[in-house]
Amino acid sequence: MGVTQLEKHPSFPGVEGPVLVVVMDGVGIGRRDEGDAVWVARTPNLDAFPTLEGAVTTQLAAHGTAVGLPSDDDMGNSEVGHNALGAGCVHDQGAKRVQLAIESGEIFDGQVWKDAVARVKESGEPLHFIGLLSDGNVHSHQDHLHAMLRRAAEEGVAEARVHALLDGRDVGERSALEYVKPLEALLEELSTDGRDYRVASGGGRMTTTMDRYEADWSMVERGWKAHVHGEAERTFGSLSEAVQTLYDEDPKATDQFLPAFVLTEGDAPIGPIRDGAAVLFFNFRGDRALEISRAFTEENLDAFDRGERPDVFYAGMMQYDGDLKIPERFLVDPPNIERTLGEYLAKSGVSQFACSETQKYGHVTYFWNGNRSGKFDESLETYVEVPSDNVPFEQRPWMKAAEIADATLAAIEKGDAKHLRINFANGDMVGHTGHFEASVVAVECVDLQLGRLMDAIQEAKGALIVTADHGNADQMYDLMKDGSGYRRRPDGSLDVRTSHSLNAVPCHIWAPGRTLKASGVEGAGLANVAATVMQLLGFAKPEHMEPSLLG
């Protein structure tokens, strides 16, 4: 069924002014204690919503099955969160699709896997795996890598090399060895009967390979040199040796910021990528996989000097950009997300405005629109990207919140956009650093800008929805398994958490001058926001979308 013009809402004529959705990235509802930077922060504007006349305040599920992930033990993330916000319904997401494809054997029956195996059998070069080594299940999962390594061995692949990117962001900040040791044990187990399976290179995810939105191509360049050319400033004999040595050298070092390194035998790198090899990038999430995919596949890339580019068979776990066809080959089909909020509004002649800084720009555009690049209607849509600062986020926790608010206020004053959506990245990006005080400042900065937007919406006689895509700054320390309190390190300090939380997120809906009523939807999640936007604009939701949060 295609997208048609929306029908008028049967009982709600819509607000006079614009409808603005503010996504406070990484601002969930925590325990309201010493580990909750959102609660510790001074947030007079957020705190005011429950007291505003006619406003509706609720909370939304933003993780697990509510956003299409395999189980409710899986933390949400910005990609799936914005997919749900923009789609208005829940789709099976990357982690779940890959898990099912492996369990059913579909991934190995596919032509891309068969072609990769055939390529290395013919050439005698290794089968290379590059990706994030953890069980965070946000960008990747170690089980997927392990399953592919075992299958490669079963199918007679003689050599395999792993290029391991270390996490410390979606999992514990110094947890790398929890994933490194099982991988090394598996590779040793598989290196029998003439097989040679080893780790070849690595580095922290925030220094090596996994840049996004072209914020820092030097990360990709460092990864390219280490993975492809076997070149890095640091060399080690094994992956566990690399991690332990870097820990010992700097007791404050965390996995995500460990430098790029190469593993060597004697003076020679263990696994440079050469002509005839096959390379599988095993991350399923797209934003931090696009640039390295372009480096392997794009003929005239000028972002950095690749040197001699090897002739390899390259494939992603999924296709990371369906419109740009990056990469052309992929192992598992991505979710097919159609009939989104943005497309319906464009079809109905509603002008739209989307804005964030570089770190989250793709989330209010590409992910919001169902993993679609570009606009539905150039004449009706305005997208504004505010360039992010290329500095550690804890050093400037205010990030670009003020500039995003400036651009949004200008759009509201201009009056060209009937629906606006913006993302404040602070709570997530600063929360990921594990720096508590900076995270408090980050949340306070968002709240300050929120106050400016509230004034503008009131003056424009519009409506405002304030929510988040997942939690993060609301849980800055790891909880004990029984939930009784926070874990402590041997020195007595709290065990810092740098990953997203499993907490629900707030949702405040306010139309100054109107009395709104909650619909009482049970188990509401992020997918309920799209229909709520439509109702505030005076439209009835399409049948396939989750119901509005308003009665």
Flag residues of the chain having pLDDT under 50. Answer: none
Among candidate residues 462, 338, 336, 343, the one with its CA nearest the CA of residue 6: 343
As a whole number of angstroms, the distance between CA 457 and CA 409 comes to 9
Longest CA pairwise span in the chain (Å): 76
As a whole number of angstroms, the distance between CA 288 and CA 170 comes to 14
As a whole number of angstroms, the distance between CA 82 and CA 364 comes to 7
78 labelled catalytic: yes
- Report the amino acid identity of residue 66: A
* N-to-C CA span, the chain: 27
- Is 319 within 8 Å of 326 (Cβ atoms)? yes
Please tell me the predicted confidence (pLDDT) of residue 316. 98
Domains, the chain, in order of start with CATH, read 19-92+337-480+493-536 (3.40.720.10), 95-332 (3.40.1450.10)
Please tell me the predicted confidence (pLDDT) of residue 1. 65
- Is 380 within 8 Å of 349 (Cβ atoms)? yes
Please tell me the predicted confidence (pLDDT) of residue 75. 84
- Indicate the SS3 state at residue 129: strand
- Is 176 within 8 Å of 239 (Cβ atoms)? no
As a whole number of angstroms, the distance between CA 78 and CA 532 comes to 20
Question: 3-state SS of 290-315?
Answer: HHHHHHHHCCCCCCCCCCCCCCCEEE
- Is 145 within 8 Å of 282 (Cβ atoms)? yes
Residues 6+ apart with CB under 8 A from 327: 281, 293, 296, 297, 314, 315, 316, 319, 320
Among candidate residues 499, 502, 476, the one with its CA nearest the CA of residue 487: 476
358-401 confidence digits (pLDDT tens):
999 999 999 999 988 899 999 999 999 999 999 999 999 999 99
- Is 497 within 8 Å of 54 (Cβ atoms)? no
Please tell me the predicted confidence (pLDDT) of residue 134. 98
Residues 6+ apart with CB under 8 A from 65: 71, 72, 90
Query: Phi/psi of residue 406, each to 5°?
Result: -55, -50
Please tell me the predicted confidence (pLDDT) of residue 26. 97
- Is 62 within 8 Å of 507 (Cβ atoms)? no
- Is 263 within 8 Å of 245 (Cβ atoms)? no
As a whole number of angstroms, the distance between CA 400 and CA 180 comes to 36
As a whole number of angstroms, the distance between CA 430 and CA 444 comes to 12
- Is 88 within 8 Å of 340 (Cβ atoms)? yes
Task: From residue 31, give the alpha-carbon distance in Å to each of 206, 259, 545.
Answer: 29, 35, 32
Please tell me the predicted confidence (pLDDT) of residue 373. 86
From 71, 78, 293, 439, active-site residue = 78
- Length of the chain counted residue by residue: 551
Per-residue tokens: 17? 């002014």
Please tell me the predicted confidence (pLDDT) of residue 226. 98
Among candidate residues 408, 422, 535, 534, the one with its CA nearest the CA of residue 469: 422
Distance of CA 358 to the CA centre of its chain: 13
The angle subtended at Cα 218 by Cα 296 and Cα 333, nearest 5°, is: 40
As a whole number of angstroms, the distance between CA 399 and CA 79 comes to 20
**Exposure letters 99-111 (e unless 16+ CB within 10 A, then b):** bebbeeeebbebe
pTM: 0.78
3-state helix, strand, coil in the chain (%, to 5): 35, 20, 45
- Is 333 within 8 Å of 307 (Cβ atoms)? no
As a whole number of angstroms, the distance between CA 297 and CA 294 comes to 5
- Report the amino acid identity of residue 445: C
Strand-pair category, 196-204 with 261-265: antiparallel
Please tell me the predicted confidence (pLDDT) of residue 66. 96
- Is 509 within 8 Å of 465 (Cβ atoms)? yes
Beta strands in 256-372 (DSSP E): 261-265, 268-269, 278-281, 313-318, 330-332, 352-357
As a whole number of angstroms, the distance between CA 28 and CA 24 comes to 9
454-495 confidence digits (pLDDT tens):
999 999 999 999 999 999 999 999 888 788 888 887 788 888
Distance of CA 97 to the CA centre of its chain: 16
